[in-house]
Amino acid sequence: MPVDARVEVDTHCPYCALQCGMVVRDERAEATVAPREFPTNRGGLCQKGWTSASLLNAPGRLTTPLLREHRGAPLRPVGWTEALDYVALRLHELRDRLGPDAVGVFGGGGLTNEKAYLLGKFARVALGTSKIDYNGRFCMSSAAAAGIKAFGIDRGLPFPVADLAAADAILLVGANVAETMPPFMRHVRPAADKGGLIVVDPRRTATAEAASLHLQPAPGTDLALALGMLHAVVADGHVDHQYIAERTTGFDEVWRIAAAWWPQRVERITGVPAADQRAAVALLARARNAYVLTARGTEQHASGVATVSAWINLCLSLGLCGRAGSGFGCLTGQGNGQGGREHGQKADQLPGYRKIDDPAARSHVAGVWGIDAAELPGPGPSAYELLDSLGTANGPKALLVFGSNIVVSAPRAGHIADRLDSLELLVTSDFVLSETAAVADVVFPVTQWAEESGTMTNLEGRILLRGKAITPPVGVRSDLDVLHGLAVRLGQPAERFPVDPETAFAELGRASAGGPADYAGVSYDRLRAGEALHWPVPTADHPGTPRLFLDRFAHPGGLARFQAVDHVGPAEPPDPEFPLHATTGRVLQHYQSGAQTRRVPALMNASPEAFVEVHPDTAQRFDVQDGQWALVESRRGTVRARVRCVTTIRPDTVFLPFHFPGAQRANLLTNPALEPTSRMPEFKVCAVRLGAA
C-alpha cells in the first residue's frame, strides 16, 4: 500500500451492544479511530472506543496456529493445514468412539451474526452434537426469557434507543450505563434533567449519581422491590385500568401477590425506604412518556426471569408497554448479544429465534441446510451445565470455544478451569492468547473487528454492517475459515460452510425467514446504503420494524401477559461464616473478561488490577485498609483484590469487577445456582467474608 494511502471506513466499535458509530482510518500503516454521528452514540465515544485501534496491534497478537501434542507440552506454532487436520482427526476419532455428543461447542455474544449462525450450523450439521451453548447465557438469558413470557418475543429494546431522549422518566434497574456504555448517557440525560431518572443499584454508581432518585436495595432483593412498587402503583391510584383490560391478561393474580408486599414490608427486606418506592412510582406514573430498562444487575440471579417479569409487570400496570414513546426494554451487554441469541448458537434454538424442539422450525431450517430434519439434534444443556459436565462420564471430551474467555468469565471459575483440564481436546479461536486459549490444545489465530466484514445486531434490534477497514496480519484467518476448514475435513460439502460473510448472511436470511427474528429482507446492499433496519424485516421491500407491539403483542391473541411471580431472595444469603454480600460488575475501562482491554495500555494504566469496593465501616469491621490488598473468600474460592473504601456502597455489600485473571478473578467467588428457566447463574450475589491479604 502506498505510504500516503488513506482509507476511511464507516464501522462500529468492537465492544458493547451500543455499537457506537465510528470511522477507522488506515493511515500510514497505523489505524486510528474517530467517532461519527450515529443514533446510538450521537458522536460520542468512551475511552474503550477511542483506544480500540490499538487492539489491531495488540502485543501478543497471534498470527499462526498453535498446537500442543499432549498436556504439559508447550504450545508450538504450526501451519493451518496441520492444525485443521489435527483437530478434525481428533474430532473424528472422538465421535467414532463416543458419539457426536462427545464434542461440545461454546460460542460468544461478540461473534458476528454470520459466525453465530454458522457456528450453530457447524455444531448441528458437521458435528451432529446437541451440546452447544454460548456466553450470552451468562448475559441476556433471563431478560430474554422474561420478554418472551410477557410479550411473546424478545428484542432487547423494542424501540429505537433515540426514543429515550423524549422520556420524562426512566427507571434503570441494575444498569450502570455511565460505565458500561457511556455514550448511552446522552439518551437518558434529558430525563435526568427533568428530574425523572431513577436508578436501582446496590451501589451509588456513576449512573446513580446522575439520577434524581437512587434506590439502593440489598443485592438479591430486586424482585421484592418491584413488588413493593407495583403495590404502590395500586395503593396510590396509578393503575391504568383501561390498558390492563384491553391489552393484557393476568393482572388479578399478580396483584394478589403484590398485595402482600406493601412498601413498608418491602423496605424491611430491601432497605429501600417506602417513601422512595412511592416517589419512584409517582415519577413514572406522572410522566407523559416513561421507560423501564433492566440490565445485568437485576437479571443475573437465580430468580432472574421472575425478577425481570416483576419489572415488566410494573411497566404493564402503568400502561407503558407497546406505546410509542414509552415501554420496557433490556439493555443488551455484549456487542452482538442480541444477534448472538437469535441465530442458533443457543442450546435450544435454531436461526431466526426459532425453538429447536418445534417441528415446523426444524423442517424449515433443515430445508435451508439441505438435510433431513430428523438429523438435527434436540436441545442441549445450558452454558454452565455444559461446562460443568466437561470431561465427566456423560459430558463432552472435547470443546471448541469461539469468542469467549470462560476461564475468567464463567461462574465458579476455579471449578470450570478444572473441567477444562479434564478434557481430551480443547480448541479455541482467538486473536490473542486469552486465559482460555493459553490452556487449549489448539489455538486458531483469527481476524478481529476491523479486519473482517460482518453484521451485528445492536441493543435496539437494528442490524449493522461492520465493514472491513484494514488488512489483517499475514497468517490470520476468519472464524468462518476455521469452521469451513473443519467442516470440509469432517466430510461436509464445501458450499455448506461459506467463508464469505455476505454469502453466509444471505443464507442466514433464508434460514431466519418466517421466524420471530426475521432477517430475510436484509441485505449487505441495503445496509451499505445506510438503511436503518430493525428486525423483523421479512422482505426486501419491508422497511423494518423500529417499534414492536404498537398494535399487538406477539402472543396469540395479541395480549401481553402479566407473570405471577413472588420474591424468594438470593440462593446464598449471608450467614455468620460468610457475613457479606458480594456483587460483581464492570468498570468503564474494561470489557467482559478483559481479554481485549487488558491489552490496551491506556486502559490498563487507568484500571490495572482487581479491587474490592468496601464501605469504610465494613473495612473497619473486617480490619482491612484502604489501598491494601485483601482476600475476599466465598465457599467456592478466594480472590485477591485491592481495597477501595467508598461510602457509595451499602455496608453489607462488597463489589468486585470481573475483568481480571488469575487470583484476581472475581468469578472464583460466584455462585453457579441456576435460574430455573433461563439457566442464568447467580453472578450478582453470593456470600463472602473479607480479610487482610
Partner 1 sequence: MRITIIGYGMAGARLADNLRGSGASITVIGAEKHPAYNRILLSNVVAGSMTPDDVLLHSPDWPRDNGIDLRLGVAAAEILPAEHRVVLTDGSTVDYDALVLATGSTPWIPPTDGLIEDGVLAPGVVAFRDLDDCRQIVNQAKDFGPVAVLGGGLLGLEAARGLAGRGCAVTVVHPVGHLMERQLDPAGGHVLARVLGAKGIEFRLGQLATKYLPGKGLLLDDGSVVAAGLVVVSAGARPSTELAEAAGLAVDRGVIIDDLLATSAPDVYAIGDCATHPGTVSGLVQPAWEQAAVLARRLTGEDIRYTGTPVVTRLKTRDVDLAAMGEVHVEPHDRDAEVVRLEDPSRGRYTKLVLRDDRVTGAIVLGAPDVAAAVTQLHDRGTPAPADRMALLLGRAMPAGETTDPGTLPASALICRCNTVDKGRLVGAWHAGARSFDALVSTTLAGTGCGGCRDSVCALSRWLAEQDPVTEPEKLGCNAT
Size of site (CB under 8 A) for partner 1:
50
Q: Is the peptide bond before 536 cis (omega within 30 degrees of 0)?
A: yes
Q: Least distance to partner 1 from the beta carbon of 587, Å?
A: 10
Shortest separation between residue 579's beta carbon and partner 1, angstroms:
8
Q: Which helix (H) or strand (E) holds 292?
A: strand 290-294
Crossing angle of helices 304-317 and 222-235, in 10° steps, is 20
> What is the DSSP secondary structure assignment for residue 472, as one 8-state letter?
P
Secondary structure (DSSP) of 290-321:
EEEEE-HHHHSSTTHHHHHHHHHHHHHHTT-T
Task: Tell me whether residue 265 or residue 323 sits nearer to partner 1 (CB atom).
Answer: 265
Q: Which of 35, 228, 485, 536 contacts partner 1 by CB under 8 A?
A: 35
Q: Binding mask 574-613 vs partner 1 (x if CB under 8 A, - otherwise)?
A: -----x--------xx------------x---xx------
388 binds partner 1 (CB under 8 A): no
Kindly provide the residue ranges of all beta strands, DSSP E only, lying in 513-637, ordered along the sequence. 560-561, 580-585, 611-614, 629-633
Find the binding residues for partner 1 in span 140-179 (CB under 8 A): 178-179
Closer Cβ to partner 1, 324 or 602, answer by number: 602
In the bound state with partner 1, the residue whose beta carbon lies nearer, of 8 and 566, is: 566
Q: In this chain, which of 276, 299, 481, 633 binds partner 1, going by CB under 8 A? A: 276
Q: Which stretch binds partner 1 (CB under 8 A): 273-281, 381-389, 449-457, 552-560?
A: 273-281
**Per rule CB under 8 A, is residue 45 in the interface with partner 1?**
yes
User: Sign of dihedral through CA atoms 58, 63, 67, 72?
Assistant: negative
**Residue recorded with cell 434524581:** 212
Task: Indicate which single residue of 83, 210, 293, 437 sits in contact with partner 1 (rule: CB under 8 A).
Answer: 210
Q: What residues from 50 to 109 belong to the interface with partner 1 (CB under 8 A)? A: 50
Number of C-alpha atoms within 13 angstroms, CB side, residue 554?
Answer: 16
Which conformational region is residue 662 in: left (phi greater than 0), alpha (psi within -120 to 50 degrees), or beta? left
Parallel, antiparallel, or unpaired: how do β-strands 638-645 and 611-614 relate?
Answer: parallel
Interface with partner 1 in residues 172-201 (CB under 8 A): 178-179, 182-186, 189
Q: 7 pairs with which residues across the strands?
A: 26
Per DSSP, 217 falls in state P
Residue 318 in the binding site for partner 1 (CB under 8 A): no
Cβ nearer to partner 1, comparing 484 with 590: 590
Is residue 260 a contact point for partner 1 (CB under 8 A)? yes
Q: Hey, which residues does 214 pair with through a beta bridge?
A: 199
From residue 223 to residue 252, the character string flagging contacts with partner 1 as x (rule: CB under 8 A) and all else as - is: -----------xxxx--------------x
Q: Sign of torsion, CA 524 525 530 536?
A: negative
- Contacting range for partner 1; rule: CB under 8 A; set: 275-283, 480-488, 556-564, 679-687: 275-283
Positive/negative CA dihedral, 363, 366, 372, 373? negative
286 binds partner 1 (CB under 8 A): no
Residue corresponding to grid cell 468469565: 409
For residue 53, the 8-state DSSP code is: G
Choose, by CB under 8 A, the member of 172, 229, 272, 450 that binds partner 1. 272
Q: What is the DSSP letter of 534?
A: B
Closest separation in Å from C-beta 24 to partner 1: 17
Using CB under 8 A as the binding rule, whether residue 253 contacts partner 1 is answered as yes
Asked if residue 222 binds partner 1 (CB under 8 A), the reply is: no
Mask for 615-654, x = binds partner 1 (CB under 8 A): --x--xx-----------------------------xx--
Say how many Å lie between the first and final Cα of the chain, rounded.
Answer: 54
Q: Which of 218, 202, 222 is nearest to 306 (CA)?
A: 222
> What letter represents residue 317's amino acid?
S
Starting at the edge strand that comes first in sequence, how are the strands of the sheet with 398-402 ordered? Answer: 76-77, 66-67, 442-445, 425-430, 398-402, 103-107, 132-134
- Residues binding partner 1 (CB under 8 A): 35, 44-47, 50, 178-179, 182-186, 189, 206, 210, 218, 234-237, 252-253, 255-256, 259-260, 262, 264-265, 267-268, 271-276, 278, 579, 588-589, 602, 606-607, 617, 620-621, 651-652
